[in-house]
Structure 1
Amino acid sequence: MREILWEIIKSSLESANPKLAVKNYLFYDKDERKVKIEDREFEIKGDIYLLSVGKASFPMTEGALEVLGDLIKKGYLVVPYGYEGKLEGNIEILHSSHPIPDENSERSAQVVLNFVESLKENDILIFLLSGGGSALLSLPREGITLQDKIEITKLLLSCSARIQEINAVRKHLSKIKGGQLAEKCKGTIITLVVSDVLGNQLDSIASGPTVPDSTTYKDVFTILKKYDLWEKVPEKVRELINKGILGEIPETPKFISERHFTKVVLSNRICLEKAMEKAKDLGLNTLLLTGFLEGEAREVAKVIAGIVKEIKFFKNPVSPPCALILGGETTVTLRGNGLGGRNQELVLSFAIEIQGIDGLLLASFATDGRDGPTDSAGAFADGNTVKRAENFGMDPISYLLNNDSYHFFEKLNDLIKIGPTHTNVNDIVIALIK
């Protein structure tokens, strides 16, 4: 079963091709001297510049260079540490930290802001945006510091807040997020997006630097209260948010000039559909259950286990042999001091729920190749996982309670290690039932 599951995993990842996605949408009409994307046309009256930010920056830029080539006068890439590559043309590569920002995140953000502010009215900026941009570019608003942003980011990441909520906070502590970068550009920005947010909500993807922001300072206050963080965040941050609620400082932009254009070119849904197609080719019945998987990882796993058992024993809502496919992104509330990620924790919880049942296999993995602060994308589990662990003297429940799923699956050699994929379209969960 694992060989079959690997084939489905590989097929889904191959479809998450940022370079091809850019080339599928970006077109240069040499005769008319226009950049075209679907039904939108942009006449080239000035210079063309490029900015690429996020985990998919290298392949997205390769795609843009193949379309526009020497037309790109200058560009910048901002990528996480460890993401390396070579590009033709006048493209400068900047590295910074993810998921927690650092000094280079602030430095890179200032470089980007200066670059965008330097564009003239007739210039065009091709902005290639993908997951990770929120941390890679971190430029605090007046009154707060980078350390304040680092502290609040750590708090938000450890409390199971949804990415939309985390980025709502980030936008209101930033000089460039939530549409503010677009406001500072005199030229035209064409933003092509590889989405890592469920439902492709544009103002949440990398905190939406070039689109209107749907959230407010009042929302930020509500989010921090919801997760019992209001009293834990730095005092300067509370002061800033209160000023925003009272209208003493401007809100993030709720309108962006129509000269700017944004298009999602790749998302989780494409990978899910490719996984389903591959499973069918392999002779399996298929059910794409949802592309909106959210919630606490260990609890979501229990629901998935329940559905898998329903299929196994009652052939409902699909008959074995089959593949159950889900997409989305769960969260983890840190209670222990172990090492792991949301996918590995989901799989460990699933293993506990289906122990002793033959003919079940599950994989859950991050499409960027990195699940949490680990070198693994996710993990595998079947009905024999718990028994194997116990033979090694491991108690699965103890590992789960300590958020130590990485070391659990490392011992069993059940980690999914694929390395950096240079893309990020959330997570994929695939269960095989026979």
Structure 2
Amino acid sequence: MTELRRHAEQIYGEAIRRALPDVAVREALRDFRPGPGRTLLVSVGKAAWRMASAALEAVSVDGGLVVTKYGHSQGPLPGLEILEAGHPVADAASFAASERALALVQGLGEEDDLLFLLSGGGSALFEASDLSLAEFQDINRRLLSCGADIQEVNRVRKRLSNVKGGRFGAACAPARVFSVVLSDVLGDRLDMIASGPAAVDGSTLEETLAVAEKYGLELSPQARALLARPLPAALPHVESRICGSVSQLCQTAAEVCRGLGYEARVLTDRAAGEARETGENLARNLLREREAGKPLALILGGETVVRITGKGKGGRNQELALAAAPVLAGTEGTALFSVGSDGTDGPTDAAGGYVDGGTRDRLRALGMEVPAVLAENDSYHALKKIGGLIVTGPTGTNVNDLSVGLYRPPAMP
């Protein structure tokens, strides 16, 4: 293993470790003052199990529910029902889990409390709709493959939902809702994180219809009628705390880089746009800035998108990294990695990808050209053949993606 690869593992490993929600959730719960009635817990998202586990160390609850992605549960939790469901597209288990949550909070009174723990991935995992599952899945797949950013995707699916856009929060009334949120959304907008089940929506119907028109979504009359339904205008019984975000992930990565001897700069914690373009631009910035001749780390966080043009396998982080390979080709002392903090990147078992100045030529030696691989959206298989996949397994957190370009002068020890 090269020194750059070892440094990459240290950087993303420590950044993710410090983004785990345990301490942050317990800190947020210092402000939680349950009333004399029942206290129930509902935890939703890729980090739902870990958030619920941390909460149980700080609060006594009278029952509840954990809804997380397949394979992200880490075992039983006392007093809580644990359900796993589909991501990135809702499945029958997502619908069933959401109906279970709605039934759980039905009948709560003014003296009762709901502790609502929310993390990224909830938009797919926590879902109920008057549309058929097949129609709902079709709309979601088209949104996820057309190049729409996550805020555009969420604008549409929250209005098709019976639990998003504040509707789950409204269903809990008159009970008090204390929401602890692990953010995976640029700008930490509560109405966008997991499509805002307990937050007043900040978008308009006109903006939502504009998304449908922009990407040519063909919607049935029933779907259009659901889009027009009003969302809750106020949720005075809901109180929310954000306990972690991508900006913290980037700052931690920068601290680790400095500890390894790099000059570290966070370029942005709101990266968006297409993964390929982001990877190419980060690599170009790295080559330009390396002229100073000092160890350098350029860091960005956020959530890019992939435009589906082929039938391969991959995720946005793998595609971002692989797109950087031709830019770095032939250079010494350069590397770039991109990783999802939740440990999963798209429909794969990898968290992301790693490339360096020799990646393009190693692929060429196997008869593979990067542009052709990207056109087929097959970054997973290409990176796997040359040992470029980053595999962490489910991490227990979800605060978006981390991408880092590294330069270390080859002559350095």
Q: When the two structures are superposed, what TM-score results if normalisation uses the length of structure 1? A: 0.90
State how far apart, in whole Å, the 1-side matches of 2:396 and 2:219 are: 33
Look up the match of 1:430: 404
The DSSP-based 3-state class of the residue aligned with 2:240 is: strand
Which of residues 135, 156, 159 is equivalent to 2:124? 135
2:202 aligned counterpart, secondary structure: coil
The question of 1:254 aligning with 2:242 is answered no
* Contact 2:283-2:405 within 8 A present in 1 as well: no
User: Which residue does 2:373 correspond to in 1?
Assistant: 399
Is residue 2:326 matched to residue 1:352? yes
Q: Distance in 1 between matches of 2:318 and 2:300?
A: 15
Report the residue type matching 2:177 in the other structure: I
Contact 1:311 1:433 in 2 (8 A): no
- Indicate conservation of the 8 Å contact 1:338/1:402, yes or no: yes
Deviation at 1:139, TM superposition (A): 0.9
Whether 1:174 aligns to 2:161 is yes
Per-residue deviation, 1:23: 1.1
* Counterpart among 312, 322, 331 of residue 338 in structure 1: 312
Matches within 5 A, 1:30-179: 36-37=31-32, 42=33, 44-68=35-59, 71-141=60-130, 144-179=131-166
Match of 2:224 among 238, 254, 266: 238
> What is the SS of the residue equivalent to 1:295?
coil
1:117-157 Cα distance to aligned partner (Å, 9 max, x none): 2211110111110111111121113xx22222111000000
* In 1: Cα distance, 2:67 partner to 2:374 partner: 35
User: Cα offset for 1:348?
Assistant: 1.1
Residues in 1 aligned to 2:124 and 2:117: alpha-carbon distance in whole angstroms: 16
| Cα shift readout 1:350-393 (whole Å, capped 9, x = no counterpart) | 00122111111001011111111111111111111111111112
Specify the SS of the correspondent of 2:74: coil
Shift of 1:84: 2.5
Percent of aligned pairs sharing the same letter? 39
Is residue 379 from structure 1 mapped to residue 353 from structure 2 by the alignment? yes
Q: Quote the residue 2:264 is aligned against.
A: 286
Amino acid in the other structure paired with 1:373: P
Secondary structure at the counterpart of residue 128 of structure 2: coil
- Give, in whole Å, the separation in 1 of the partners of 2:72 and 2:10: 26
The code of the aligned residue for 1:285 comes to E
* Matched position secondary structure for 2:88: coil
The answer (yes or no) to whether the contact 2:98–2:126 under 8 Å persists in 1 is yes
> Aligned-pair distance for 1:325?
1.0
**CA–CA separation in structure 1 for the residues paired with 2:389 and 2:94:** 30
Aligned to 1:361, what secondary structure does the other structure show?
Answer: strand
Which residue of structure 2 lines up, in the alignment, with residue 263 of structure 1?
Answer: 241
d(CA) in 1 for partners of 2:191, 2:133: 22
Q: Distance in 2 between matches of 1:406 and 1:336?
A: 13
Conserved 8 A contact 1:108-1:137:
yes
- The residue number in structure 2 matching 1:201 is 189
Using the TM superposition, give the Cα deviation of residue 89 of structure 1 relative to its aligned residue in structure 2, in angstroms: 2.6
Q: Distance in 2 between matches of 1:303 and 1:413?
A: 23
1:312 aligned partner: 290
Give, in angstroms, the shift of residue 264 of structure 1: 0.6
Letter in 2 for 1:67: A
Residues of 2 paired with 1:240 and 1:278: CA distance? 47
Cα displacement string for residues 35-78 of structure 1 (whole angstroms, at most 9, x for unaligned residues): x25xxxx352211111101111111111111111xx31111111
1:32 maps to none
Whole-Å Cα distance in 2 between the matches of residues 280 and 195 of structure 1? 25
The reply on whether 1:276 has 2:254 as its aligned counterpart is yes
Q: How many residue pairs get matched?
A: 404
Q: Which residue of 1 aligns with 2:24?
A: 21
- Assess if the C-alpha contact under 8 Å between 2:120 and 2:182 holds in 1: yes
Which residue pairs with 1:30 in the alignment?
A: none
Match of 2:176 among 183, 188, 192: 188
Q: In structure 2, what residue type is equivalent to 1:256?
A: L
Ranges in structure 2 where 5+ consecutive residues have no aligned partner: 409-413
Long gaps (5+) in structure 1? 28-35, 245-249
TM-score of the superposed pair, with normalisation by structure 2? 0.95
